[in-house]
C-alpha cells in the first residue's frame, strides 16, 4: 500500500457511520494505510472514489492467472526483493515444452511422461505445472489438433507459443476455449493485434523484448483494457535473462514503475541440458513467473523443483510435521522407537531411511517448533524434559514393550538426562539419518532380542 492515511481519508465518504467497525473514517483510513483493513470493509465506498483508490493502491506487480477454475496458476503480485524481508508468495510455474510437429501418439506419450514426472520431498508432491505447446509446424490446424490432444490428456494449464496470431487464436478459442492458456506470439505484430487476441481468447498474454519495448507494449495494452500481461526477455542469454528479471522486479517494487510490474516468462533450454537445469534454478531463485524448459529428464528437473520448493517456503515458518508418535510400516510392540524433531526435513530424512531399512519403526517427532535436531538442542527445545514429556504424552509406554528409545547421535549428551527423566533405556543412534538402516540392521536387532 503506497498511499498514506490522509490520501485515503480524502476519498472516503467521511460520514463516520461505523459500518466498517471503526469509529471514524479517519481511523479507518489509518488502518487501511497500515495494511490492517481493506477497502472492501467500507460498504459506503464506491464509484469514482473506489476506482481511484483501487488504482492508487494496486500492488506494484500485477497478478496473472493462467488456466481456468478450479485450479488456475497464479503468478506475480510479489512484494519483496529478498525472501528474508517477508517471503515469496507465488512459485513460478514450470512449463515443459512440446512441439506441435508431432503426431497424436507422440503427444499422448508426452502426456504420460509429464504425469510420471512427480517426486515427493519432505511430505510434498513436486511436479511440473504446465505444458508449453510450441507452434513449430507453423500450421494453425496442427497447433489446434495438438492442443486438443494434450488438453484431453492433461488437466494442466498451457502456454501457447507461436510466431503468428491466428494459430494461437484458433487453438485458444477452439479446443482450449475457456481454458485460459497464456498466449505468447513471438512474431513482430502490432500491439493492437495482441490486444485483440487477448480479448477474443479471454486469456492472458505475453509480450517479449527489451525492457523499453515491453514497458511500451504493457502501457499500450493497458489502454486497450488488457491487464493480464506477462513480459519476457525472449530467448536471451543467461546473463541477459537474469538482468531482465532483476531489473523488472526492482523497477516494479523500488520505483513503483507499473509498466514493468508484470510477472516474467523465461526460457531455460538449449543443447546442454545440465546448463539448462542450472539456468532454470537461477531463474527460479531470481524472480521468474514462468520457466519454459525442455527438461523432460526427471534427474535434471528435480533440482529445479527442489530449488523452487526451498525458495518459496516461508523463512519465518519452518515447515513442520505433526509432533506425535508416527508409525512407519507394520509396527509391533517390539518395533524400534526413534526420536527426532518435528522439523520436516529432519523428520522425513529419518522416515525415508526407516523405509529404506524395511524395519517397521515408531518415530517420535518431538515438538521443537519446527527446528532441526542441533538447532533445537542449542535453543533448549530438545532436552531431556521435552523428550520425556513427548514420550509420556504420546502414550509410547503402552505401544512398545521394550522401553528402549533411540535418540539422535548428534545429541548423545542427552542420553543420561533422558533416562533419568523418562525411566526409559536410552540408546544412541547414528549422527546422520543415512546411518539408520545400518544401525537398525546391526545394533537394534542385537539389543532388542
Ligand atoms: S464504513 Fe466507510 S464511511 Fe462508514 S465510518 Fe467506515 S470508512 Fe467511514
Q: What is the pLDDT of residues 340-365, one digit of tens each?
A: 999 998 999 999 999 999 999 999 99
**Degrees, nearest 5: CA angle 298-301-305:** 125
Q: Is the peptide bond before 70 cis (omega within 30 degrees of 0)?
A: yes
Q: In whole angstroms, what is the distance from residue 213 CA to residue 108 CA? A: 38
Nearest atom (ligand 1) to Cα of 22: 6
Are residue 360 and residue 269 in the same domain, yes or no?
A: no
Q: Is the CB of residue 17 below 6 angstroms from any atom belonging to ligand 1? A: yes
Are residue 98 and residue 51 in the same domain, yes or no?
A: no
Is 320 inside any structural domain? no
Are residue 209 and residue 358 in the same domain, yes or no?
A: no
Are residue 51 and residue 68 in the same domain, yes or no?
A: no
pLDDT band at 421 (very low <50, low <70, confident <90, very high): very high
Q: What is the pLDDT of residues 316-340, one digit of tens each?
A: 888 899 999 999 999 999 999 999 9
Residue 302's Cα: distance from chain center in Å? 14
Which of 132, 106, 67 lies closest to 266, judged by CA? 132
Last residue of a domain, one of 311, 339, 363: 311
Q: Distance from the CA of 19 to the center of ligand 1, in angstroms?
A: 6
Last residue of a domain, one of 23, 40, 57: 57
Is 142 inside any structural domain? yes
Last residue of a domain, one of 278, 311, 344: 311
CATH code, 175? 3.20.20.20
Q: Is the pLDDT of residue 154 over 90?
A: yes
Q: Distance from the CA of 35 to the center of ligand 1, in angstroms?
A: 16
pLDDT of residue 449: 39
Q: Is the pLDDT of residue 152 over 90?
A: yes
Q: Distance from the CA of 52 to the center of ligand 1, in angstroms?
A: 17
Q: Is the CB of residue 9 below 6 angstroms from any atom belonging to ligand 1? A: no
Instruction: Measure CA of the first residue to CA of the last residue in the chain; give whole Å.
Output: 65
Is 389 inside any structural domain? yes
pLDDT band at 446 (very low <50, low <70, confident <90, very high): very low
Main-chain phi, psi angles of 139, to 5 degrees: -100, 130
pLDDT of residue 1: 45
Are residue 295 and residue 432 in the same domain, yes or no?
A: no
Count of beta carbons in the 10 Å neighbourhood of residue 379: 12
Q: Distance from the CA of 55 to the center of ligand 1, in angstroms?
A: 20
Are residue 294 and residue 358 in the same domain, yes or no?
A: no
Which residues are CB-contacts of 34 (< 8 A; sequence separation ≥ 6)?
Answer: 5
Kind of pairing, strands 73-76 and 124-126?
unpaired
Q: Is the CB of residue 23 below 6 angstroms from any atom belonging to ligand 1? A: no
Q: What is the pLDDT of residues 50-71, one digit of tens each?
A: 878 877 777 789 999 999 988 8
Is 316 inside any structural domain? no
Q: Distance from the CA of 77 to the center of ligand 1, in angstroms?
A: 28
Is 319 inside any structural domain? no
User: Residue 402: helix, strand or coil by DSSP?
Assistant: coil
Q: What is the pLDDT of residues 4-39, one digit of tens each?
A: 888 899 999 999 999 999 999 999 999 888 777 888
CATH code, 335? 3.40.50.11600
Is 417 inside any structural domain? yes
Whether the Cβ atoms of residue 83 and residue 315 lie closer than 8 Å to each other? yes
Are residue 156 and residue 301 in the same domain, yes or no?
A: yes
Are residue 269 and residue 189 in the same domain, yes or no?
A: yes
Q: Distance from the CA of 59 to the center of ligand 1, in angstroms?
A: 23
Q: In whole angstroms, what is the distance from residue 428 CA to residue 146 CA? A: 59
The protein residue whose alpha carbon is closest to atom 8 in ligand 1 is 25
What are the CA-CA distances from residue 265 to residues 231, 232, 372 (Å)? 6, 5, 36
Q: What is the pLDDT of residues 185-228, one digit of tens each?
A: 999 999 999 999 999 999 999 999 999 999 999 999 999 999 99
Q: Is the CB of residue 5 below 6 angstroms from any atom belonging to ligand 1? A: no
Are residue 260 and residue 365 in the same domain, yes or no?
A: no
Q: Which letter, b or e, does each residue of 127-150 get, where b requires 16 or more Cβ atoms within 10 Å of its Cβ?
A: ebbbbbbbbbbeebebbbbbbbbb
pTM across the whole model: 0.79
Domains in the chain, number: 3
Q: Is the pLDDT of residue 291 over 70?
A: yes
Whether the Cβ atoms of residue 61 and residue 262 lie closer than 8 Å to each other? yes
Main-chain phi, psi angles of 379, to 5 degrees: -95, 10
Is 45 inside any structural domain? yes
Is 122 inside any structural domain? yes
**Domain membership of residue 277 as a residue range:** 63-311
Mutate to test the pocket of ligand 1, among 23, 44, 46 (most ligand atoms within 8 A of CB): 44
Q: Is the CB of residue 18 below 6 angstroms from any atom belonging to ligand 1? A: yes
pLDDT of residue 2: 58
Q: Distance from the CA of 26 to the center of ligand 1, in angstroms?
A: 9
Which residues are CB-contacts of 363 (< 8 A; sequence separation ≥ 6)?
Answer: 325, 326, 327, 328, 337, 338, 339, 340, 347, 350, 351, 354
The protein residue whose alpha carbon is closest to atom 6 in ligand 1 is 20
Q: For residue 423, how many C-alpha atoms fall within 13 Å in the half-sphere facing its CB?
A: 4
String of DSSP letters for 84-133: GGS---SPPEEEEEEESSS-HHHHHHHHHHHHH--EEETTEEE---EEEE
User: Residue 207: helix, strand or coil by DSSP?
Assistant: strand
Mutate to test the pocket of ligand 1, among 9, 11, 18, 53 (most ligand atoms within 8 A of CB): 18
Are residue 299 and residue 336 in the same domain, yes or no?
A: no
Q: Is the CB of residue 11 below 6 angstroms from any atom belonging to ligand 1? A: no
Mutate to test the pocket of ligand 1, among 6, 10, 13, 23 (most ligand atoms within 8 A of CB): 13
Are residue 254 and residue 336 in the same domain, yes or no?
A: no
Rg of the chain over all Cα atoms, to the nearest angstrom? 27
Are residue 148 and residue 272 in the same domain, yes or no?
A: yes
For the chain, percent of residues with pLDDT exceeding 70: 98
Mean pLDDT for all residues in the chain: 93
C-alpha cell at 416: 543420561
String of DSSP letters for 210-227: -HHHHHHHHHHHHHTT--
- Please, which residues bridge with residue 366 across strands? 341
pLDDT band at 445 (very low <50, low <70, confident <90, very high): low
Nearest atom (ligand 1) to Cα of 13: 3
CATH code, 24? 1.10.15.40
Amino acid at each position: 500500500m503506497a498511499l498514506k492515511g490522509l490520501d485515503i481519508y480524502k476519498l472516503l465518504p467521511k460520514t463516520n457511520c461505523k459500518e466498517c467497525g471503526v469509529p471514524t473514517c479517519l481511523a479507518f483510513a489509518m488502518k487501511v494505510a497500515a495494511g490492517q483493513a481493506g477497502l472492501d470493509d467500507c460498504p459506503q465506498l464506491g464509484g469514482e472514489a473506489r476506482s481511484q483508490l483501487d488504482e492508487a493502491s494496486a500492488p506494484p506487480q500485477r497478478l496473472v492467472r493462467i488456466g481456468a477454475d478450479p485450479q488456475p496458476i497464479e503468478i506475480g503480485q510479489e512484494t519483496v526483493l529478498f525472501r528474508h524481508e517477508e517471503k515469496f508468495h507465488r512459485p513460478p510455474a514450470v512449463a515443459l515444452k512440446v512441439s506441435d510437429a508431432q503426431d497424436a501418439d507422440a503427444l499422448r506419450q508426452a502426456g504420460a511422461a509429464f504425469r510420471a514426472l512427480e517426486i515427493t520431498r519432505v511430505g510434498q508432491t513436486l511436479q511440473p505445472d504446465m505444458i508449453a505447446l510450441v507452434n513449430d509446424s507453423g500450421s494453425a490446424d496442427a497447433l489446434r489438433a495438438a492442443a486438443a490432444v494434450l488438453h484431453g490428456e492433461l488437466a494442466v494449464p498451457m502456454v501457447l507459443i507461436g510466431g503468428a496470431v491466428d494459430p494461437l487464436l484458433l487453438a485458444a478459442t477452439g479446443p482450449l476455449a475457456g481454458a485460459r492458456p497464456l498466449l505468447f506470439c513471438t512474431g513482430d505484430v502490432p500491439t493492437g493485434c495482441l490486444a485483440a487476441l487477448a480479448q477474443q481468447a479471454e486469456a492472458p498474454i505475453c509480450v517479449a523484448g527489451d525492457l523499453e519495448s515491453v514497458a511500451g507494449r504493457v502501457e499500450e495494452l493497458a489502454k486497450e483494457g488488457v491487464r493480464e500481461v506477462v513480459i519476457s526477455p525472449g530467448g536471451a542469454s543467461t546473463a541477459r535473462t537474469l538482468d531482465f528479471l532483476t531489473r523488472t522486479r526492482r523497477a516494479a517494487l523500488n520505483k513503483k514503475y507499473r509498466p514493468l510490474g508484470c510477472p516474467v516468462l523465461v526460457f531455460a533450454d538449449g543443447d546442454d541440458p545440465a546448463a539448462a537445469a542450472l539456468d532454470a534454478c537461477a531463474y527460479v531463485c531470481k524472480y521468474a513467473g514462468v520457466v519454459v524448459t525442455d527438461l523432460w529428464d526427471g534427474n535434471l528437473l528435480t533440482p529445479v523443483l527442489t530449488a523452487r520448493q526451498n525458495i518459496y517456503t516461508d523463512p519465518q515458518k519452518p515447515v513442520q510435521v505433526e509432533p506425535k508418535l508416527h508409525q512407519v510400516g507394520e509396527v509391533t510392540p517390539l518395533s524400534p522407537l526413534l526420536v527426532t524433531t518435528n522439523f520436516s526435513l529432519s523428520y522425513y530424512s529419518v522416515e525415508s531411511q526407516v523405509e529404506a531399512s524395511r524395519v517397521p519403526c515408531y518415530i517420535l517427532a518431538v515438538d521443537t517448533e519446527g527446528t532441526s535436531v542441533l538447532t533445537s538442542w542449542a535453543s533448549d527445545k530438545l532436552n531431556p524434559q521435552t523428550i520425556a514429556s513427548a514420550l509420556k504424552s504420546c502414550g509410547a509406554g503402552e505401544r512398545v514393550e521394550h522401553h528402549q528409545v533411540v535418540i539422535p547421535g548428534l545429541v548423545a549428551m542427552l542420553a543420561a538426562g533422558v533416562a533419568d527423566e523418562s525411566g526409559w533405556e536410552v540408546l544412541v543412534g547414528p549422527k546422520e539419518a543415512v546411518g539408520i538402516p545400518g544401525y537398525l540392521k546391526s545394533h537394534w536387532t542385537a539389543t532388542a532380542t
